[in-house]
Amino acid sequence: MIFKTIDKKDFNKFLEILIENNSFFAPQKIAKDKNNKPIYDLRLVNDFKEIDFNYDILKYPPRRFFLPYREAISSFEIKNSSWQQNINYETKVPRILLGLHPCDINSLNKLDKVLMLGDYPSPYYTIRRKNTFIIGMDCDPKPFCFCRSVGTHTVQHGCDMFLIDIGDRYFIEIFSNVAFDFLKKVTTKDITKKDDDEYKRIRRLKAEKFTAKIDVTDLTKILDMEFQSDVWKEWGDKCLGCGSCARVCPTCYCYGIEEKIDLKFQQAEKLKILHACTLIDFAEVAGGFNFRPERHIRLKYRYYHKHRGFVEAYEESLCVGCGRCGEACLAGITVPEVISSIRE
Amino acid sequence: MQYLGVELIKPKAAFFDFSCCEGCQLQIANNENKLLDFISLVEVVNFREILTERNNDYDIAFIEGSITRKDEIDRLKKIREKAKILVAFGTCASFGGINKLKNKFKDIEWVKKEVYGNCPIETNDKVMAVNEVVKVDFYIYGCPVNKSEVEAIVQSIALGREFRYLKHPVCFRCKEKQNICLYEMGKICMGPLTRAGCGARCPSNGNSCIGCRGPAEEPNIEFMKTIMIKNGFTERQIRDKFELFSAFKE
Ligand code: SF4
Ligand code: SF4
Ligand code: SF4
Ligand code: SF4
Ligand code: SF4
């Protein structure tokens, strides 16, 4: 990896160049909550002045840029009794995302393992992943962040460059050739001993800020043993079966397929729609049989996929500890609380 | 008309309005660019908002509105005898809807006087949903119904295949639209209990879901009430939301 620093004014110049030539998404204030606290998310920007660098977290995960909530995976022209299928992999202009935190970058690395590097790679996902330039940014842990417990608080790969704010300049970790070449357009500096020290100091400070955590020691085995635990029932009594958790999760990738025909019966579309394992109709099959009719069992399986099944298959958790599911859950079901209730 | 070599079923459909605002029929009638395609799927023999002729030979009867008068009961029973399939069309027909708020009052004479003044009015003391009078084969929820859902349902009929309702709550679609949850904005919302299928229309426009499509399947009403109270809403505010369409069991 190559390290550089860049003055903030040079970085703005760098952004100007990128914004001018690409479709560029960056953090913006999108709303205020009831306590007047601003809420941020990625939005298309046309000028670097529109970017809000004070953002804390991105409300919705960047997963949607790669794995949209809903997409037509093919369309059909129907004529009499024959039909023609059209498949269109998205080959739009390259996209740039600025401001992904380590949890979100690692979430993409996990999705890569399933959707790009697995036995059945998805061309839809792969083309978007390859066509997206990612500028990661360091963050300040929030009370619900527990990425450190699952090892996703640092970035080893998965983005093109990663920025750490060290006052009047950024410390840059350069991951890709593309980023290296892009950066030639502006002035960057080699790192000095001072930068090095500042980097380490900031890293130490960040590590101290984490408050939420989960204990993953032997978690797969404990989950195995607690499969029949009454604790699941207690959480199930609270769960609303609303699927908000899966909607805001950066790593949920389960989907359903729906076919839509136009009213003239001349055109049809096959839609892929991200689903959620906590919904009552998630495991319902043709004929109406439901494999998971009980709320607590559905909720349990969400945890088993994240913290057991995926770990067994990939030796890492599918949860990146972003805490979004707990924040979005009206019933107050959070990963740290569920995991500790199972361990007790 | 054929689809992939299979002849489509083209049933004769009739629309009947009972006590309601006729907004559900209007959803079909004002969908101008698709109306012709829609009526090519079914042979519409009776539809006051778009047809002048009437014909009483039909397979499917779409019943709009709730049942509030004696003559409506008789008329509905006659329709039931003729129809092969009877559809409760919209929330008034499915649950009683707004009209059914009347049933909450103890003094029905007071209600009549308050609403109709001194005009003579013939109305039953209790408002009924269609299934309180006759057997209903199929429900289309919503106040008003969602056009694209109605189209999908009629299309399923034409194809002779089963239509599958969404069984989960509105929140799921609301989050798909990347809305900020109204509870974060300090507003109450029935989304976690209400059946999806409207595209989370209200929360996507900053308004509370008021539960017009009735309950999702197996809604967690009990704990949702606790959540509403925890969020600072009063019993009264909560009851208003639950009772508006008479769709939720208490
Ligand atoms: S979960 Fe970790 S990486 Fe994500 S925002 Fe919080 S501290 Fe940053
Ligand atoms: S855990 Fe929370 S967010 Fe997820 S389905 Fe249950 S109530 Fe909804
Ligand atoms: S399960 Fe929850 S905490 Fe874990 S990655 Fe998904 S949203 Fe984040
Ligand atoms: S605004 Fe309403 S429908 Fe949307 S997520 Fe919140 S509670 Fe659910
Ligand atoms: S959001 Fe709620 S009130 Fe609004 S249309 Fe949908 S179900 Fe009806």
Within a domain: B213: yes
Within a domain: B164: no
Q: What is the mean pLDDT of residues B226-244?
A: 97
pLDDT tens digits, one per residue of A153-211: 999 999 999 999 998 999 999 999 999 999 999 999 999 999 999 999 999 999 999 99
Structure tokens at A206: 């960040």
Cα A175 to the center of its chain, rounded Å: 19
Q: Ligand 1: which residue has its CA nearest to atom 7? A: A141
* Confidence tier at A271 by pLDDT (50, 70, 90): very high
Residue from B147, B173, B220, B233 whose CB has the most chain A CBs within 10 Å, to mutate: B220
pLDDT given for residue B53 in this prediction:
73
Judge if B189 and B134 occupy the same domain: no
Judge if B233 and B155 occupy the same domain: no
Q: Do A330 and B192 touch (CB under 8 A)?
A: yes
**Percentage of residues in chain B with pLDDT exceeding 90?**
70
CATH number for position B155: 3.40.50.700
Q: Which residue of A has its CA nearest to B166?
A: A281
Helix (H, G, I), strand (E, B) or coil at B241: helix
Task: Give the closest residue to B234 by CA, choosing from B188, B184, B171, B165.
Answer: B188
- For A208, the enclosing helix (H) or strand (E) is helix A193-209
Within a domain: B21: yes
Of B1, B151, B217, which has the smallest distance from its Cβ to A280's Cβ?
B217
Q: Where are the alpha helices (DSSP H) in A140-186?
A: 177-183
Of A30, A241, A265, which has the smallest distance from its Cβ to B220's Cβ?
A241
Partners of A38 in beta bridges? A32
Interatomic CA distance for residues A334 and B180, integer angstroms: 19
Structure tokens at B189: 């919302």
Ligand 5 contact via B194 beta carbon (within 6 Å)? yes
The best mutation among A104, A148, A325 to test binding of ligand 3, ranked by most ligand atoms within 8 Å of the C-beta, falls on A325
pLDDT tens digits, one per residue of B38-80: 888 888 888 877 777 777 889 999 999 999 999 999 999 999 9
- Dump the DSSP string for B109-136: HHHHHHHHTTS-----SS-B-GGGTS--
Break chain A into its structural domains and give their ranges.
2-67+90-208, 219-253+277-343
Judge if B113 and B207 occupy the same domain: no
Task: Give the closest residue to A240 by CA, choosing from B221, B208, B124.
Answer: B221
Q: Which residue of B has its CA nearest to A83?
A: B4
Structure tokens at A204: 């130490």
Ligand 1 contact via A62 beta carbon (within 6 Å)? no
**Percentage of residues in chain B with pLDDT exceeding 70?**
100
Q: What is the mean pLDDT of residues B211-216?
A: 98
Exposure on the CB side of residue A87, measured as CA atoms within 13 A:
5
Q: Ligand 3: which residue has its CA nearest to atom 4? A: A319
Strand duo A2-7 + A189-190: pairing = antiparallel
pLDDT given for residue A92 in this prediction:
66
pLDDT given for residue A296 in this prediction:
97
Q: How many helices (H) and strands (E) does chain B have?
A: 9, 7
For A241, residues 6+ apart whose C-beta sits below 8 A from its C-beta are A278, A279, A280, A295, A298, B168, B169, B216, B218, B220
Is residue B7 over pLDDT 70?
yes
- For B2, the enclosing helix (H) or strand (E) is strand B2-3
How many other C-beta atoms can be found within 10 angstroms of the C-beta atom of residue A114? 19
CB pairs under 8 A between A and B: 109
Judge if B74 and B180 occupy the same domain: no
Q: What is the mean pLDDT of residues B161-173?
A: 94
Ligand 1 contact via A326 beta carbon (within 6 Å)? no
Judge if B121 and B14 occupy the same domain: yes
Domain limits for position B182: 170-243
Within a domain: B91: yes
For B83, residues 6+ apart whose C-beta sits below 8 A from its C-beta are B14, B58, B59, B60, B61
Judge if B174 and B119 occupy the same domain: no
Q: What is the mean pLDDT of residues B7-11?
A: 89
* Confidence tier at B17 by pLDDT (50, 70, 90): very high
Contact A317, A216 (CB under 8 A): yes
Judge if B13 and B91 occupy the same domain: yes
Within a domain: B49: yes
pLDDT tens digits, one per residue of A74-93: 999 998 888 999 998 876 66
CA angle A176, A145, A143 (to 5 degrees): 140
Residue type present at position B188: I
Of B3, B172, B193, which has the smallest distance from its Cβ to A243's Cβ?
B172
Q: Looking at per-residue confidence, does B30 or A76 come out higher?
A: A76
DSSP state for residue B142 in the 8-state scheme: B
Q: What is the mean pLDDT of residues A318-333?
A: 98
Residue type present at position A308: R
Number of the ligand closest to the Cα of A110: 3
Strand duo A82-86 + A189-190: pairing = unpaired
pLDDT tens digits, one per residue of B77-101: 999 999 999 999 999 999 999 999 9
* Confidence tier at B121 by pLDDT (50, 70, 90): confident
Pick the last residue of a domain from B138, B159, B180: B159
Number of domains in chain B: 2
Q: What is the mean pLDDT of residues A230-250?
A: 98
Residue type present at position A335: V
Q: Looking at per-residue confidence, does A312 or B44 come out higher?
A: A312
Chain A positions in Cβ-Cβ contact with residue B8 (cut-off 8 Å): 265
Within a domain: B86: yes
pLDDT given for residue B224 in this prediction:
98
Residue type present at position A314: Y
Q: Where are the alpha helices (DSSP H) in chain B?
A: 23-29, 32-41, 70-82, 91-95, 108-116, 147-159, 171-176, 221-230, 235-243
Could you tell me if residue A45 is left (phi over 0), alpha (psi between -120 and 50 degrees) or otherwise beta?
A: beta
pLDDT given for residue A91 in this prediction:
65
Q: How far is A40 from chain B (nearest CA, A)?
A: 10
Judge if B64 and B134 occupy the same domain: yes
Contact A335, A328 (CB under 8 A): no
Q: What is the mean pLDDT of residues A136-156?
A: 97
* Confidence tier at B250 by pLDDT (50, 70, 90): low
Q: Looking at per-residue confidence, does B233 or B114 come out higher?
A: B233
The best mutation among A142, A163, A213, A248 to test binding of ligand 1, ranked by most ligand atoms within 8 Å of the C-beta, falls on A142
Ligand 2 contact via A329 beta carbon (within 6 Å)? yes
Residue from A44, A67, A240 whose CB has the most chain B CBs within 10 Å, to mutate: A240
Task: Give the closest residue to A157 by CA, choosing from A172, A182, A174.
Answer: A174
Q: Which of A105-109, A280-284, A309-313, B56-60 has the lowest mean pLDDT?
A: B56-60
Judge if B238 and B122 occupy the same domain: no
CA angle A49, A50, A55 (to 5 degrees): 105
Pick the last residue of a domain from B159, B178, B210: B159
Atom of ligand 1 nearest to the CA of A146: 1
Phi, psi (rounded to 5 degrees) for A172 = -115, 130
Q: Do B175 and A33 touch (CB under 8 A)?
A: no
For B42, residues 6+ apart whose C-beta sits below 8 A from its C-beta are B10, B11, B12, B13, B60, B154, B157, B158
Cα A75 to the center of its chain, rounded Å: 28
Query: Would you call the peptide bond into B144 cis, given omega within 30 degrees of 0 as the criterion?
Result: yes
Q: Do B3 and A33 touch (CB under 8 A)?
A: no
Ligand 1 contact via A335 beta carbon (within 6 Å)? no
Is residue B197 over pLDDT 70?
yes
In the reported structure, the alpha carbon of residue A317 is separated from the centroid of ligand 3 by a whole-number distance in angstroms of 10
Judge if B20 and B89 occupy the same domain: yes
First to last CA, chain A: 42
* Confidence tier at B4 by pLDDT (50, 70, 90): confident
**Percentage of residues in chain A with pLDDT exceeding 90?**
94
Strand duo B43-46 + B6-7: pairing = unpaired
Phi, psi (rounded to 5 degrees) for A322 = -75, -20
B175 contact A CB<8A: yes
Chain mean pLDDT for chain A: 95
Could you tell me if residue A202 is left (phi over 0), alpha (psi between -120 and 50 degrees) or otherwise beta?
A: alpha
Residue type present at position A94: P
Judge if B115 and B228 occupy the same domain: no
- Dump the DSSP string for B206-219: T-----TT-BPSS-
CA angle A222, A227, A228 (to 5 degrees): 130
| Matching residue, tokens 């949209």 | A68
Within a domain: B249: no
Chain mean pLDDT for chain B: 92
* Confidence tier at B178 by pLDDT (50, 70, 90): very high
Interatomic CA distance for residues B168 and A216, integer angstroms: 32
Contact A162, A193 (CB under 8 A): no
